[in-house]
Structure 1
Amino acid sequence: MSSLNLNGQSYRKDSLQIKSYTQIEYVNNEVKTIKLLKVLCDYCTDYQKQVIGEEAKRRAFLERLDPKNRIENGKKRLAIYIRIAKTDFAAIKPN
């Protein structure tokens, strides 16, 4: 048993997980707006936060019709977790 390799997934050492909050506003069971509320990233530049925020809004758009996220009238907040490789994250720079 001691020869078993139980390292699990190695994504922790070569990627970052960034949390963002979005809000979907529903009126008559239909989406009115999708807003980015916040990107939680201490080491991101403003440009990186902007790019990650756009991805979070895109993912919220894909989640908008999920029955657990839908409400008839009101606002639904979603926490979106984005996992990105450190090399890809470092490549996010303005042209």
Structure 2
Amino acid sequence: MAITFCWLCYTAQAQIGYQKDSLQIKVYTEIEYKGDRPLKIKVVKVFCDYCNEKQIQFLSQEAWTISYQNRYGYREKIKNGKAKLAHYIRVNKEDFKKIQ
């Protein structure tokens, strides 16, 4: 019982630890559909006030890739129109600083 309690405390502390060394950035994307086929994927906005141009480009590419991989997941929901998606991208602070 004591071992289980110690393990739970350790995992709870590890879950809080990611916040200290990583950034979470929100990105909006849109997927345009005609019928049930995706036509175009567009990054609408990257919410990062302190990012340089290369970092914004990196985040845009990551969000575009996530949307591309999920483009057929919305087939039942949208026949003609746009799917508006919000992505939360988590990046290590040290790795993010290296993008110049």
TM-score bucket (shorter structure)? 0.7 to 0.9
Alignment of 1:57-76 (within 5 A): 57-67=64-74, 70-76=77-83
Shift of 1:7: 2.1
Q: Specify every segment of 5 or more residues in structure 1 that has no aligned partner in the other structure, as ranges.
A: none
Cα RMSD after superposing both structures = 1.9
SS at the partner of 2:51?
coil
Shift of 1:54: 0.9
SS at the partner of 2:29?
strand
Residue 7 of structure 1, aligned match among 9, 13, 18? 13
Show the counterpart of 1:81. 88
SS at the partner of 2:44?
strand
Count of residues in Structure 1 that have an aligned counterpart in Structure 2 = 92
Q: Higher helix share goes to which structure?
A: 2
Q: Specify every segment of 5 or more residues in structure 2 that has no aligned partner in the other structure, as ranges.
A: none
Show the counterpart of 1:43. 50
Letter matched to residue 74 of structure 1: G
Shift of 1:28: 1.1
- Bigger Rg, which one: 2
Q: TM (normalized to structure 1)?
A: 0.86
Identical-residue share of aligned pairs (%): 43
Shift of 1:20: 0.3
Offset from partner CA, 1:43-66 (integer Å, 9 cap, x none): 111221011101110111011111
